[in-house]
Amino acid sequence: MGARFQFFLACALALLASSIISAAVVEHTFHVQNLTVQRLCREQVITAVNGSLPGPEIRVQDGDDLVVHVVNKSPYNITIHWHGVFQLLSAWADGPAYVTQCPIRPGQTYAYKFKITRQEGTLWWHAHVSWLRATVYGALIVTPRHGPTSFPFRKPYQDVPILLGEWWNANVVDVENQGQALGTAPNISDAYTINGQPGDLYSCSKANTYKLTVVKGKTYMLRIINAALNNQMFFKIANHTMEVVAIDASYTRPYVTDVVVLAPGQTTDVLLVANQTVGSYYMAASPYISIQGISIPFVETATTGILVYEDATSATPLMPAIPAFNDTTTAHKFYTNLTGLVSWPTWVSVPKEVEVEMFMTFGLNLAPCSGGDTCAGPFGQRLSASMNNESFEFPSRLSMLEAFFDKVGGIYTTDFPSKPPVEFNYTDPSISFDQSLLFAPKSTKVKKLNYNSVVQIVLQNTALIARENHPLHLHGFNFHVLAQGFGNYDPVNDGKRFNLFNPQIRNTIAVPTGGWAVIRFQANNPGIWMAHCHLDVHLPWGLGMAFEVENGPTLPSRLPPPPVDLPQC
């Protein structure tokens, strides 16, 4: 008996030692500075990281520690958000300006330090201040601790990040500021991009179109990331189908489709088999314009890349059939056909006992045009946005997380409402310009949560000003998507539709236009965590809120002190 125990003990210690040895510290330095690039027949100065667009790709393994030294050589304040990373007990590294940190000022540096814990798949990083994420973004790829043989699908021959973006023939900070000054929507972008390039269909862009060379018969993983500021995107490849195997770094039951839809902030991993006739095929990304009730301008040209088979002689790529810009049916079919992979060890079951229930309405609003300004919003007012009729306003003299940790008052309050102050027919288009409902007060409010509490939120779109599909991103947590649909949420009938067995797991949910979604998560990470619309046009208007998750009862469940180099306001 003693010999057997000693054998098992030796095995356990060997496994532990192997795990410790295999974990690594991955270190990068980001130099953020001006970069002059040429797009759409002209030169433009942008803010970029390490002289590239997109920025550097980061690859780590689950369990690794990541250290990124950000050196701000740009003329703007900067922060970096690690989109989808849990930041367990490292909320100081989450990145939203004035929420978990004050910005890194020009000439300053800050080292983001955090551990990747129980995550694998495709995430990304981006600026989280102003509109700088238009050009400050890149892929963050987390591979399994035990290598690619640990995938729940066949090992791909190669994996390739595909980052979708937007391009302005202008300084994006100036574009946002001009819109804010006028109280209306800023100018739209001039192009969409694949891996930083607009592609063949835009002027002066053919020579630098992104190309991916493939070998016939091989399987490729495309790690698709929607880094666009304000547009959901359809993605297709001519004559090819794709097999979705993960979303937002969570594995899914394999789902075969010829079109992928991604809201800003979302990622989708697909397997692509190069099984067509040797030749050239366009990859195309085009906008999904979900807004209803008003007409808005948008770029109607698709961005393209080219899938080229090795030894191909055809010079003209085939173009896929692009969905209509307002094809909500196709978008909804894609979003609702995704389910989680219960059979895999990384699966996290749906928490069953709900302790906090919220009903959260959100959408566009108005704010008064004051101070003698001339405003270009409806009724001569400013465009605004809110959640539960509270329009989120960022603090400026101290970050919310510092106020939480040091118990400083006057930065935010803990009275964010669990339901809207007024009940109405939320998705009825006739209420779009009802001025009794349009104005929402500015505030900095959080919803206070006990450590480890299970939270269920009904996310209810409204028709105020316009009905639109809003992508809502929750910092610090993944959540289960229990159900989604159109119209007003019906707790009796829609509650019967909950998928509690294998729902998709996400960090960003595209709530259907004129509809709703129900999400559930466990608040097991102390700190201040934003929940906000990932259409960047809406965040400065106030379409956001935050959760204050209290410390737990033990030392491993309490937020550590801030790092010594945390930027100050």
Q: Is the pLDDT of residue 21 over 60?
A: no
For the record, the structure tokens of 190 come out as: 């001039």
Cα dihedral 310, 313, 314, 315 sign: positive
Q: Hey, which CATH number is domain 356-557, 3.40.50.300, 3.10.20.30, 2.40.50.140, 2.60.40.420?
A: 2.60.40.420
Average pLDDT across the chain, whole number: 94
The pLDDT of residue 12 is: 37
Contact assessment for residue 75 and residue 248, using Cβ atoms and an 8 Å cutoff: no
14: pLDDT confidence band, cut at 50, 70 and 90?
A: very low
Burial of 538-569, coded b for 16+ CB within 10 Å and e otherwise, reads bbbbbbbbbbbbbebeeeebebeebeeebbee
The pLDDT of residue 180 is: 93
Contact assessment for residue 246 and residue 269, using Cβ atoms and an 8 Å cutoff: yes
The pLDDT of residue 295 is: 72
CB-based burial label for 105 (10 Å; 0-12, 13-18, 19+): middle
The pLDDT of residue 288 is: 97
Over residues 402-408, the mean pLDDT reads 98
Over residues 191-220, the mean pLDDT reads 98
149: pLDDT confidence band, cut at 50, 70 and 90?
A: low
The pLDDT of residue 337 is: 98
Q: Is the pLDDT of residue 4 over 70?
A: no
The pLDDT of residue 290 is: 87
Q: What are φ and ψ of residue 126, in 5° steps?
A: -160, 160
Summarised one tens digit per residue, pLDDT across range 293-344 is 777 888 999 999 999 999 999 779 999 999 999 999 999 999 999 999 999 9
Contact assessment for residue 40 and residue 191, using Cβ atoms and an 8 Å cutoff: yes
Please give the single-letter amino acid code of residue 320.
Answer: P
Who wins on pLDDT, 150 or 278? 278
Who wins on pLDDT, 452 or 21? 452
Summarised one tens digit per residue, pLDDT across range 42-99 is 999 999 999 999 999 999 999 999 999 999 999 999 999 999 999 999 999 999 999 9
451: pLDDT confidence band, cut at 50, 70 and 90?
A: very high
- Listed by start position, the domains of the chain span 356-557
147: pLDDT confidence band, cut at 50, 70 and 90?
A: low
Q: Give the percent of the chain with pLDDT over 70.
A: 96
Summarised one tens digit per residue, pLDDT across range 112-136 is 999 999 999 999 999 999 999 999 9
Q: In terms of Cα–Cα distance, which of 117, 110, 97, 89 is closest to 527?
A: 89
Q: What are φ and ψ of residue 393, in 5° steps?
A: -125, 125
Summarised one tens digit per residue, pLDDT across range 355-396 is 999 999 999 999 999 877 889 999 999 999 999 999 999 999
Summarised one tens digit per residue, pLDDT across range 250-260 is 999 999 999 99
The pLDDT of residue 22 is: 65
The pLDDT of residue 354 is: 98
Look at the block and give the residue holding tokens 């979705």: 244
18: pLDDT confidence band, cut at 50, 70 and 90?
A: very low
Q: Is the pLDDT of residue 6 over 50?
A: no
Q: What are φ and ψ of residue 171, in 5° steps?
A: -75, 120
Compute, in degrees rounded to 10, the torsion defined by CA atoms 229, 231, 234, 236: -40
Q: Is the N-terminal amide bond of 54 cis, ω within 30° of 0?
A: yes
Question: Global pTM?
Answer: 0.95
Q: Is the pLDDT of residue 107 over 80?
A: yes
